Amino acid sequence: MPSAEIITIGTEILLGEIVDTNTRYIARTLRGMGVNIYRTITIGDNVERIAEAIHHSMQHAEIVITTGGLGPTVDDPTREAVAKAAGVELEFREDLWEQIVAVISRYGRKPSENQKRQAYIPRGALAIPNPVGTAPCFIVETERNALASLPGVPNEMEHILHESIIPYLQRRFDLNEIIKIRVLHCAGLGEGMIDEKIADLETLSNPTVGLAAHTGVVDVRIAAKARSEAEADAMNAEIEDQIRKRLGDVVFGADEDALEDAALTAVAKRGWTLTAVESGLDGALARKIPHTVSLSDPSTGSGRLTSDSLMAALRAAHADSNTDAALGVAINIQERAAEFALITPGGEKTHRITYGGPPRSLARWSVNVALDWLRRRAADPEGSK
C-alpha cells in the first residue's frame, strides 16, 4: 500500500492569517482509500524551501500532494518549486492557456499578462484541467512517485481531487483497500487511566487503536484497513466491543456524538426537566444546556460563586423553574478550581475540583466535567432516590 505526504503552501497559513482546512480534507480522503499518511507540512512562499520539502517527501512517500501557490502572482511559487525538485524546466502549454482564457471570458473579462504564468508547468508533467478556476493543475510522474499539485482555494481543490486526482491514483497504485475509522468518546477517566485499561489493544496492527486527549474528554480511535467497507466495519466492531466492556460507562458516545447530547438524553430518559446556573464561564454552559442562567456572587462582587453561594443560587433557580433537576458550575481562575452543584429528585450534592491545565481551558474543562457528572447521575438508578 502506498504512503503519502501532503504539503500545504502559503505564507498566510504560517502567519495564522488563514486556517488550513485542505490538509485535513486531503488526508481524510486518502485515508478512506487505504493510503498511509506519513507526514503533513506547511511551507511559506519560498521556492527553495518548497523544492527541498518536495524532494524530501518524494524520497519517503510514493504519493506527494501539494496545495496552494498556483495563482498568477509572483508570490505563487509552486510551479517553479516543483520543476526545481523534479530537475526540469517550466514549459508553456498553449492548451492550458486556452483553458485559462476560456474560464476568464465567462466573467466578461480578458486575461492579464501575468495570468499567463499559470499556463507554465514542469516539462513533461501531466496537465490536469481546472474547470472551476483559473489555475491548471498537474502531476509529475517518476518511476516511483506521483506528485500532484492542486490549488489552494478549497472548493477548487476538492473538485479536482475527486474528479481527477483520486481516479488517477486508483489506477496508478491499484488502490483497492479502504480504511474505516470509528471514534469512541470517553469522559470521567484521564488519558493515562484509559491507556492502562486498553494498552494491549494499542499494540494491534490492524485495526489500530490510538488515544487523543481533549479538555475533559478522551477519544479512542479505531482504524481498520480492509477490502470492503463491511469487512472494515466488522473489524472495528469487534475491537469496539472489547473497549466498551473494559471502559463501561466511561464511553458516552461515538463519532459525531457530543457529551451534552449524552447528558441531556440521560436526563430525558429519566423524565426529568432541567435548569442550570453558571458563574465565570461566559456562557459556556448556556451554549450546552437550555435555560441556563449566568450569575455572580453579589456579596463579594467577584463575578464568581463560592460553593455555598452556588448551591444557594441553584436552589433558587430550581424553585423558580419548578424543574426536577438543576446543575450549577462556577470557576475560580486564580485558584484554577471549579465548584459543582447538582440537585436531583435524589437530593443535593456539591464538589470542588482543582485543574492542572492552562487557565484559558478551565471553563471548557469545567463544563465537560459537569455534563459528565449530570450524565452519570441521571443514568444511575439511585439518582432519583
Domain boundaries, the chain: 3-173, 178-254, 259-384
Q: What is the mean pLDDT of each run of 10 residues along the chain (385 residues)?
A: 94 92 94 91 95 96 95 85 95 89 81 83 93 89 96 93 94 90 95 96 94 93 91 96 97 95 96 94 92 67 69 93 95 91 94 90 95 94 55
240-249 long-range contacts, Cβ below 8 Å, gap at least 24? 240/182, 240/184, 242/198, 242/201, 243/184, 243/198, 243/201, 243/209, 244/184, 246/197, 246/198, 247/186, 247/189, 247/194, 247/197, 247/198, 249/188, 249/376, 249/379
AA letter at 249: D
Residue 257 pLDDT? 95
Q: The domain 3-173: what is its CATH number? A: 3.40.980.10
SS3 123: coil
Look at residue 116 in the predicted model and tell me its pLDDT: 85
Predicted pLDDT of residue 75: 75
Burial of 187 (0-12, 13-18, 19+ CB in 10 A): buried
CA distance 289 to 291: 7
Its CATH architecture, for the domain 178-254, is 2-Layer Sandwich (3.30)
Q: Which residue's C-alpha cell is 466511561?
A: 250
Q: In the prediction, which pLDDT does 301 show?
A: 44
CA 230 to chain centre: 25
The topology under which CATH files domain 259-384 is Maf protein (3.90.950)
121 and 91 in contact (C-beta within 8 Å)? yes
- pLDDT at position 300 is 43
With contact defined as beta carbons under 8 Å apart, do 351 and 310 qualify?
Answer: no
Report which residue type is found at 271.
Answer: G
